[in-house]
Each structure stands twice: as structure tokens, then as C-alpha cells.
Amino acid sequence: MATFYDLAAANRRKSLLLVLIVVGILAAFGASAGIALSGSIEGGAPVAVGAFVVGFLLTLGAYFSGDKAVLAAAGAKELDPSAGREELELDNIVSELSLAANLPKPKVYTINDTALNAFATGRDPQHASIAVTEGLMRTLDREEMSGVIAHELSHIRNFDIRYGLLVAALVGSLALLSDLVMRWAFWGGGRRRGNDREGGNGLQAIFIVVTIILAILAPIAARLVQLAVSRQREYLADASGVELTRNPVGLERALAKLAGDREVLEVATKATAHLYIINPVKHFEERSAGFLATHPPLVDRINRLRALRRAKPLESLAER
């Protein structure tokens, strides 16, 4: 039977594979764009290399400072344990569970928002941070908050935080390249090339079409692969979080409360939605139309936790 360590190792292998797939898509997209622009196979190489270099630089930037950008985008402020009872309790929970997980204590931040949510970020356990909304801190009891913090510490221990930063940068690189290609096509790049062919460079015509198709499909494909792995990471973080607390009920109750929360987390974006413990974009929001599901259904996550204590599964969250 696979242990949590086996699952975490498999998780890291999937992360590497995903990064390689996205890098491959980026390089292929760049090569196709180069051929479309130059009309020759040789012309594709420099653009492919350029696309790879841009992706590498963005990934490098995300590795070293992406967590700071995520925290700044969320408006996160470092926790002051002396500010009140809830702040002190949160600090104590993080300290206790960090010891249980054999991890350095991450920095703790709060987000000034009444919505219920939390996330972890950073490049490794030595450079990690956890952020919780003030609404979450004020609403959950100690048992429930312990479940949430254990979940986020599991993301840190499993190196999910590094994966989140790196892949977001690579997917962002693809989106940037796609936007440039679509602007080129919109402003008549393909038509000008077609006029210059005079008799026709068939190869170039084919790759103009291929590049425009890739500009539409490549970011979607990369995002779908990313989200498929992200959902599995949430299940693993739930399970390994329970391993830390030895109590599935706390996280189960916390997820149920989060599921019933109708408050909108305004600071969440497409780039950061996958980091949160639950999808921060509510289904009733107008902006939800542009979001793909970043998390598995909450009822499935709760039922997996209920199975750990042999409780009857729920058909829907309304049964709670």
C-alpha cells in the first residue's frame, strides 16, 4: 500500500513531467511562430529559443520572488500575534503543527477580507508563507483552523508551493506568447505574409494557420494539464493534513463552512486561484465564466475525509 511519502514523491514526479510538457508546448509554439513569420524551417529556431528564454526568465523570477508577488496581490499583512486572541491562537497553531510536520515555521500573513479562505506559497519549506483571510481566522474554531493549517503545511511539505509558482509562470509565458501572436494576426501579419508570397510559400501558409490555432489552444491545453494535477494535490494535502492532526473532523467541518460561505474574495485572480484551499471564485460571480475549475468538488473532498472515520458519505453539502 502506498504511503504518504510515496504519494508525495509521485506528486513531485508529476510536477516535473508537467513542467517539461509546458516547456515543450512553449518551444513548439515558438518554433511554429518563427516559421510562420520567416517562411522557413531555419527561421523557427531563433523564435523557439527566444520563447524558451522568456519562459525560463519568467520562471526564474517566479522561483525567487513569485511568493512576494502573490502575497502583495492578495494584500497580505504579516501576522501580529499580540494584536488579539485570534491572532495569538493562529500563531500557536502554526507553531505546533510545524513541529509535528518537522518543518521550519512558515511566515504567517492575514488578508483583510471577510471571505473564508487560505493559501500557502513559497519555493521550499525554508522560504514558505501561509496566508489566511481575517474572515477565516474569526470564524473557525481551533479544531477547524488546525485542519486548514495542516492542509497548507502539507502543500509546503509536498513542495506543491514550488510547483504552483513554476507552472503559473510557464502558463503565463504561453499566454503572453499567444497574445502576441493573436495581435500579430489581428493587425494583418498573416495577410502581409500572404501577399509577399506571390505564388505562394505553402509551408509558411500552413504554419500561419497552425500558429494561430496554437495561440488559441496551447494555453488552454497547458491550463487543463495544470488543473488536472492541481486537483490531485488537493486530495493529497487533505489526507496528509489529517495525518498531522490525527483528526479528519476538523478539516471536514472547516471545508463545510467554507462551502457555505457566500462572501466574494475580490483579490483572487486566475493566476492565484489554484493556490487557495478552495476555489475563491464563487459560481454565482460574473467573473466565474472565465475560470476553469481549480479544485475538486468539495463534497468529494469531504466524503474522502468522512471515509477515514467510516462515516456515511454525503450526497450533497445540503445534508450537513
pLDDT digits (tens, 9 = 90+) for 163-204: 888 777 777 777 777 777 777 666 655 554 444 444 446 777
Residue 98 near residue 128, CB atoms below 8 Å: no
Are 170 and 23 in contact by the 8 Å Cβ rule? The answer is: yes
> With a threshold of 0.85, does the pTM exceed it?
no
- Percent of the chain clearing pLDDT 70 (strictly above): 82
The closest alpha carbon to 188, from 212, 210, 206, belongs to 212
* 126: number of Cβ within 10 Å: 10
CA–CA distances in Å: residue 43 to residues 30, 184, 213, 221, 257: 10, 17, 19, 25, 56
- 267 vs 229, more confident: 267
Neighbours of 108 (CB within 10 A): 21
Q: How far, CA to CA in Å, does 238 sit from each of 16, 34, 211, 248, 254? A: 22, 44, 40, 9, 11
Q: Which residue has the cell 505562394?
A: 200
- The answer for residues whose C-beta is within 8 angstroms of residue 206's C-beta and 6 or more apart is none
**Sign of the alpha-carbon dihedral angle for 71, 74, 75, 80:** negative
Look at residue 101 in the predicted model and tell me its pLDDT: 94
Mapping DSSP to helix (H, G, I), strand (E, B) and coil, where does residue 96 land? helix
165/157 Cα distance (integer angstroms): 15
Pairing, β 107-111 against β 128-133: parallel
Whether 152 is catalytic is yes
Do the Cβ atoms of 250 and 307 come closer than 8 Å? no
Instruction: Please identify which of the residues 152, 285, 286, 319 carries the catalytic annotation.
Output: 152
Give the pLDDT confidence of 24-55 residue by residue, as tens digits.
777 787 788 788 777 777 777 887 788 778 77
Q: What is the CB-side half-sphere exposure of residue 274 using CA atoms within 13 A?
A: 27
The upper half-sphere exposure of residue 106, i.e. CA atoms within 13 Å in the direction of its Cβ, equals 31
User: With 70 as the cut, is the pLDDT of residue 287 above it?
Assistant: no
Q: Could you give the maximum distance between any two Cα atoms of the chain, in Å?
A: 77
In whole angstroms, give the CA distance from residue 103 to residue 171. Answer: 29
313 φψ region: left (φ > 0), alpha (ψ -120 to 50), beta (else): beta
Of the listed ranges 121-125, 150-154, 196-200, 249-253, the one predicted with least confidence: 196-200
Alpha helices in the chain (DSSP H): 4-38, 44-73, 85-101, 134-139, 142-157, 160-186, 189-197, 202-245, 248-259, 298-308
Residue 268 · residue 280 · CB < 8 Å: yes
Q: How far apart are CA 33 and CA 224, in angstroms?
A: 22
- pLDDT value for 199: 42
Judged by average pLDDT, the poorest of 16-20, 100-104, 176-180, 316-320 is 316-320
